[in-house]
Amino acid sequence: MRDQEGTGSARTSGVLVVEIRGELDITTVLRWTTVLETAICALPAPHLLVLDLAMLEFLSARGAGGLLRALELSRDRGITGCLIVTPGTAVARAVHLTGLAERASVYPNRLTAIAACQPDEVRWLPA
């Protein structure tokens, strides 16, 4: 599902992918957090939350804090969380500077993230 503001989510085999576009800052973090919490609650039993920041143009410290809170909420519910960040971008620098990269696994694309986080018995690509 995708809303008018550029936030979308998709369900695939117990994996929740939330794609965030545009800017994640003080003016958008509350709306985004609400969308994310609603999406997490809508899944019957997700085992992986993928926050896709590849199309994100700007990430503020407040936005990074919102991502961290979302990852902690997921972890509290038994859901593994990871980030998709395009290497060499301003968002990648913000993820590293805010310490977010130390709190969550960071991958360059969805396929790599989903493959790396699958249980061994269903892993279909080498980690």
CA angle 75, 7, 83 (to 5 degrees): 40
pLDDT digits (tens, 9 = 90+) for 30-87: 998 888 888 777 766 667 889 999 999 999 999 999 999 888 888 888 888 899 999 9
CATH number of the 7-122 domain: 3.30.750.24
State yes or no: pLDDT of 1 exceeds 90: no
Q: Hunting for tokens 């369900």 — which residue is that?
A: 11
Domain boundaries, the chain: 7-122
In terms of DSSP bridges, do strands 7-12 and 15-20 run parallel, antiparallel, or are they unpaired? antiparallel
Q: Residue 70: how many CA atoms within 13 Å on its side-chain side? A: 31
What is the C-alpha to C-alpha distance for residues 113 and 90, in angstroms, rounded to an integer?
20
